[in-house]
Structure 1
């Protein structure tokens, strides 16, 4: 089994835990404050891993182009988290999470347009079924 597949599956499991833990954690506090607290924890955790692995020595090798795209990705992540926490504050986690996962369809479309990644009929069918499933949670 390819290593990326294992990490992708772990990501899904941790994302599921995130939804439940965030739903509980956002109770009684503004969603923006909850997002900020979560972000600080992630910041400390991520930098701890960077230093533990010795990757902090690579900072000087980051190109300007890479830095710009990582910064833009960070802004998109922040906007996503703010919207996600507000959605969790207002709605049930069991309905918010599937709609949030519509990001899959957007990612595949953007990957095709921006990166030239192919969309096969199997991929399109699978994503279509996932989108249909996510939309069914609204009913």
Structure 2
């Protein structure tokens, strides 16, 4: 369980700091250039990880439907990144990040309806408070 908290802490720090660096970078590069640069670095890093771990050959064992799902997710993420960086370039970093932080609300609703995850009072209150926070910050 300790590694869970280490990973979450890393996500919080990186996710909290990145918008400032994204805004600075977007002052000098276009949105497509930004997406390309990030994608290029990610490609290099994950290719190295897959080769080092021996998982690169593991794709042969994966059902082709799930390969297609992964590729489609990549396409959708590309659209999301374009919209996010365009908003970041046009608006205030703190506002863009706050408003985009409402995404887990949709995740929760989809998880309840599509994945049959439980709808509880505690989670419902959490959704309400997140919504209020986004409204107040945004």
TM-score, normalised on structure 2?
A: 0.89
Matched residue, 1:100: 100
1:120 alignment partner in structure 2:
120
- Asked if 1:43 corresponds to 2:43, the answer is yes
> Is contact 1:101-1:134 (8 Å) kept?
yes
Give 1:3 deviation, angstroms: 4.2
Q: 2: distance between equivalents of 1:28 and 1:63?
A: 42
Task: Name the count of aligned residue pairs.
Answer: 138
Q: CA, structure 1 residues 11+56, in 2 after alignment: closer, same or farther (shift >3 Å)? A: same
Q: Which residue of 2 aligns with 1:52?
A: 52
Q: CA deviation at 1:29?
A: 2.2
What is the CA distance between 1:72 and its match in structure 2? Answer: 2.0
Equivalent residues of 1:26, 1:34 under 8 A apart: yes
Describe how 1:78-97 pairs up with structure 2 within 5 A: 78-97=78-97
- Counterpart Cα distance in 2 of 1:51 and 1:135: 44
Paired with 1:77 and 1:26, the residues of 2 have a C-alpha distance of: 18
Q: Which residue does the alignment assign to 1:132?
A: 132
Determine the C-alpha separation between the residues in 1 that align with 2:124 and 2:6: 23
Q: How far apart in 2 are the matches of 1:32 and 1:26?
A: 10
Which segments of 5 or more consecutive residues in structure 2 lack a partner in the other structure?
none
| TM-score, length of structure 1 as denominator length | 0.88
Structure 1: 5+ residue stretches without partners: none
